[in-house]
Structure 1
Amino acid sequence: MSSRQPPPLLLDIGLVGLAVADAWIHVDFVDRWAAACAFLGALALMLRRRMPLTTFVLTLPTALVTDAVVAPMAALYTLSSLSRHRLLLAGCALFYAVIDFLPWPWSSLDATELSQTTNLFHLSYGLATAAAPVFLGQLVQARRELSLRLADITEAREHERLLTAQSVLAKERAQLAREMHDVVSHQVSLIAVQAGALQVGSQDPETRQAAATIRRLSVQTLDELRHMVSVLRASGSRPTELAPQPSLADLERLVDASGIEATLETDLPDGLPPTVQRAVYRTVQEALTNARKHAPGAAVTVRIHRRDGTLHTRITNTAPTRRALALPSAHHGLVGLAQRAELLGGTVTSGPTAQGGYELWLKLPVERNQ
């Protein structure tokens, strides 16, 4: 309901009051029959929205025995604004005009008076008066239907715009899937093949172990990459399940497969929220990756514990023992961790330690994410 339009009940009460005032002015209350008809027609306006035709019929005695016009005109307008039957509306308007023209009682009607110019003018005026609310009601009905059609058109255009955007997104996803399959998958496959060859051909145990780790990580990356490509190629045509999300149960395997000297210390209970478990896993994963890239030869310690309703995750690495190689990086890892933690109501802090190492500290509220 628009704020500019009064409530329907208040509008109906005001209209009844206006009809009563019209009856008060034009009806002689000495004539109880006329007064009763006038007040019946006024009170019938409370039914005009639910039973417009019945309301119009109940107001006809007002037009017949009194000079009050508000009630029958309002009833005729309401009927014409809600009905689509043009023949019915024309008949009601004609019937009202005839009743308004005929005197009461009908026995006082002189047939010769119908030929008089004044009475014919009166009948024409009554027809015009009856046609006015009919035309106005039809105009309001047409305007209401036009507004509904415009709303439907607007909704259809929004739906079409959404479909167009989804189509564009689907094409971009398909193109991205092709790029990942043709470029990234090919390069990772070459890394796995070269690592396998190095593992078989090398005589150095440490080199063979490093090559085996590289090969295992490459194969795991290829599996995840193939699933991502299949998700992208789905292009939104149907819901596609994502890969199983990691949990704290996978942390030990993550630390063991990191390829660096890492220790995991945790005493967490079961039943932590999945979102918290994923955030901790991704934080540890990012910290191990950064230590492997930027602090070669460093030892990493992962400590996870819960205190006062807050989950604390500290990943600390010692100073590097050799110079780090220059590797490409988009520098989005820590930013992404901070955003993930902020969504869960937590914080991420990081910085160098006094011993020349580096520390990453994640704090997450547990009860808020239950």
Structure 2
Amino acid sequence: MTRRPSPLLVDGVAVAMALLDVWAHWDIDEPLRMACALAAAVALLLRRPQPLLTFLLTLPAVLLSDAVFACLAALYTLASCNRPRALLVVCALAFAVSDTTSLPSPELDLTRTPTLIALGYSAATAAAAVFLGQLVRTRRDLSLRLAEISEARDHQQLLTAQAVLAKERAQLAREMHDVVSHQVSLIAVRAGALQVGAGDPDTREAAATIRRLSVQTLDELRHMVGVLRASSGHPTELTPQPALSDIQRLADNSGIRTELRMALPEGLPPTVQRAVYRTVQEALTNTRKHAPGATAHIDLSHADGAVRVRVTNTAPTQPPLPLPGAHHGLLGLRQRAELLGGTMTSGPTGDGGYELCVVLPAQDTG
């Protein structure tokens, strides 16, 4: 896998290119214009945390000088973030008009053909920066979605392997209980009868030994059958499973704005903790996919012996990307909740958002 350059290196290259652009248009007789161009180049250091502010700081350099690289880089960064398309159109038009206009004596005569050509060229340049930023954002979202699909596929394969293993263990447990245990029980009974009815002391001692060993074997068989039947417990866990302590990290790494309120007691069964984690995970994935720019509110509470998981998101600020999906996420959550004796409801909210609610018994009913 190709290693991406560090953000610090990329920002350094961007600032260097902007300074090179200033040097190419340097005019010692215009100190104000050159100062604005230099300030715009330095302002690129803020483009990641404050892309819109960076664009506004670099725009005066386009009005006062011919150094436009810094403003184009800021516009590209703004487009690569989850920003409304109307804002991107306004920013692109602002760049085109500023690039065509020359301060302090602006001349923007739209009736002249050269002016229209210059305006069209500037607009095309701004549109190229916007389209490139949008392309990078779409590629990033697709990469995240493909990684989620790969993770879900691997998890499904793991569940399938666990199901096959559990089935084989259950079948083996039945065979041991119905066949082996029955035969060993008969040996113990026969040995007990021989011990009581035999007249020879050596025979009675041998029968007692056989009976003792048979009883010991039965106890060991019962223990093994119990272990094999506990296919949903720790003996069959193949990988570390998520718990409540992992939800904060899940929210922080979701790539969207989240607000988490968790008021759950300690000592919840592992199956309930996993169900809560998977519910929040699926809800955040759906929010990122279907409601770009929305804020997710995660509310985890406990009342009347039940755990309530409620995840809502606000209305999206961007049209959803056409990302691939298997459409099995909510169905899987409903099945998981029903297996644990709980319920799941979901649907749109009145303000254009979406709500997912799962109620689970606080005690494992499995």
TM-score (norm 1): 0.61
Gap runs ≥5 in structure 2: 237-366
1:175-190 to 2 correspondences below 5 Å: 175-190=171-186
**Is 1:156 the counterpart of 2:149 in the alignment?**
no
Are the equivalent residues in 2 in contact too, given 1:22–1:70 (CA < 8 A)? yes
Q: 2-side partners of 1:83 and 1:174: how far apart?
A: 51
Counterpart-to-counterpart distance in 1, 2:235 and 2:196: 39
Q: Secondary structure at the match of 2:186?
A: helix
Q: Deviations over 1:92-147 (max 9, x none)?
A: 11111111111111x443x6x32011101111111111111000000000000000
1:44-193 equivalences under 5 Å are: 44-105=43-104, 107-109=105-107, 113-193=109-189
8 Å contact from structure 1 (residues 27, 66) kept in 2: no
Does the 8 A contact of 1:196 with 1:215 survive in 2? Answer: yes
CA distance in 2 between partners of 1:103 and 1:156 (Å): 55
CA–CA distance in 2 between the matches of 1:218 and 1:137?
76
Partner residue in 1 for 2:212: 216
What residue in structure 1 maps to residue 21 of structure 2?
22
Superimposed CA distance per residue, residues 217-248 of structure 1 (whole angstroms, 9 cap, x where no aligned partner): 1111101101211221222x23479xxxxxxx
Give the alignment's Cα RMSD to 1 decimal.
1.6
Shift of the 163–13 alpha-carbon distance from structure 1 to 2, 3 Å rule, reads same
Aligned partners of 1:45, 1:156: CA distance in 2, in Å?
38
Equivalent residue letter for 1:138: Q
- Partner residue in 2 for 1:31: 30
Deviation digits for residues 169-228 of structure 1 (CA, Å, limit 9, x no counterpart): 111011101111122111111110111011001112222122112111111110110121
Structure with the larger RCO, 1 or 2 (CA within 8 Å, 6+ apart): 2
Q: Kindly provide the amino acid, as one letter, of the partner of residue 15 in structure 2.
A: V
Q: What is the aligned length? A: 236
Q: For 1:46-66, what per-residue CA distance to the aligned partner results, in whole angstroms no more than 9, with x for missing partners?
A: 111111111111111111111
Give the share of equivalent positions with the same residue, in percent: 64
Between the aligned partners of 1:159 and 1:114, the Cα distance in structure 2 is 61
Which residue type is aligned with residue 238 of structure 1?
Answer: G
AA at the equivalent of 1:12: D
- Match of 1:64, SS state, is helix
Partner of 1:238: 233
Q: Which runs of 5+ in 1 are unaligned?
A: 242-370
Structure label with greater radius of gyration: 1
SS of structure 2 residue aligned to 1:114:
coil
Please give the residue correspondences for 1:170-319 in structure 2 after superposition, counting only pairs within 5 Å.
Answer: 170-235=166-231, 237-239=232-234
Preserved contact between residue 48 and residue 55 of structure 1 (Cα < 8 Å): yes
